[in-house]
Amino acid sequence: MIPIVSIVGKSDSGKTTLIEKLVPELAGRGYKIATVKHDVHGFDVDHKGKDSWRHKQSGAHTVIISSPKKLALIRDVDKDHNLEQVRDKFIQDVDIIISEGYKSDIQPKIEIFRKEKHTDLLCTKEDNLVAIISNQAFDIGVPCIDLEDIKSLADFIETRFLKSRQERLVTLKVDGQNISLTPFITGLIYNTIKGMINSLRGTQSATRIDIRLEKGNDPVR
């Protein structure tokens, strides 16, 4: 399951700026990141007069704009989706989801706090607060990372949410050649194969599973 981390904070705390710095740091370590921005006031991405807007105005429930480098989905929904629903319905092939906002959601939260802007924190440990990034020290039982130390914040996220996925060792060889796997594909293969094997009698305690597919001289299909 793709982990989710919410960057939260009061108004004018710098959530978007923090994400702009955090995403390239994680991406530079080889991770694929999805971001989700929560806007309680609504938004509009298909502008009046554009083809996609005309499709939507004609009554289409879902409109997809596709190009060689980007794909966008515009879809009617009947409620404000929580992060788990957004992940399960719309996000695939990434290693982690970083959201902005969603302060009331149950997912783990990292709060950004600027002492010159605010007087008290938005969240507590009871709100699933897992860390604070701030230019002020806090001692409330969660790590407090300096506001400018993006590397340490990325280290924390990597250790807390991503390393456990990498520890699932999966190797893939095709015609004797080792194939490099992303953390997402590693987790997908591991969970799929382990789930199927666990349904077989006497396999629940297995620590190693070897699978080999062959089809004579023809490519495996």
Per-residue pLDDT reduced to its tens digit, 29-81: 888 999 998 876 666 677 777 877 778 787 888 887 888 988 888 888 888 89
| Same domain (yes/no): 194, 205 | yes
Picking from 119, 149, 166, the residue at the C-terminal end of a domain is 166
| Same domain (yes/no): 9, 101 | yes
Using alpha carbons, list the distances in angstroms from residue 81 to 6, 8, 78, 86, 99: 15, 17, 9, 6, 13
| Same domain (yes/no): 126, 35 | yes
Report pLDDT for 47: 72
Report pLDDT for 14: 93
Higher pLDDT, 131 or 184: 131
Instruction: Provide the 8-state DSSP code for 190.
Output: H
| Same domain (yes/no): 143, 207 | no
Report pLDDT for 215: 73
Per-residue pLDDT reduced to its tens digit, 98-116: 999 888 999 999 999 999 9
- Check: CB of residue 112 under 8 Å from CB of residue 20: no
| Same domain (yes/no): 176, 216 | yes
CATH number of the domain encompassing residue 14: 3.40.50.300
Structural domain count of the chain: 3
| Same domain (yes/no): 213, 131 | no
Per-residue pLDDT reduced to its tens digit, 201-220: 777 777 778 888 877 666 55
Token pair for 193: 């194969």
Report pLDDT for 56: 77
Per-residue pLDDT reduced to its tens digit, 117-160: 888 999 999 999 999 999 999 999 999 999 999 999 999 999 99
Residue recorded with tokens 């970083």: 98
Phi-psi region of 174 (alpha: psi -120 to 50; beta: other; left: phi over 0): beta
| Same domain (yes/no): 162, 172 | no
Distance from C-alpha of 102 to C-alpha of 84, rounded to nearest angstrom:
11
| Same domain (yes/no): 31, 59 | no
Instruction: Provide the 8-state DSSP code for 126.
Output: G
Report pLDDT for 23: 95
Q: Taking all residues of the chain, what is their mean pLDDT, rounded to a whole number? A: 85
- Give Cα 111 distance to the centre of its chain: 17
Give the strands of the sheet with 144-146, arranged side by side. Answer: 33-37, 96-100, 4-8, 109-113, 129-134, 144-146
Report pLDDT for 44: 66
pLDDT band at 164 (very low <50, low <70, confident <90, very high): low
| Same domain (yes/no): 123, 187 | no
| Domain that includes residue 206, residue range | 168-221
| Same domain (yes/no): 141, 186 | no
Give Rg (Cα) of the chain.
21
Report pLDDT for 217: 64
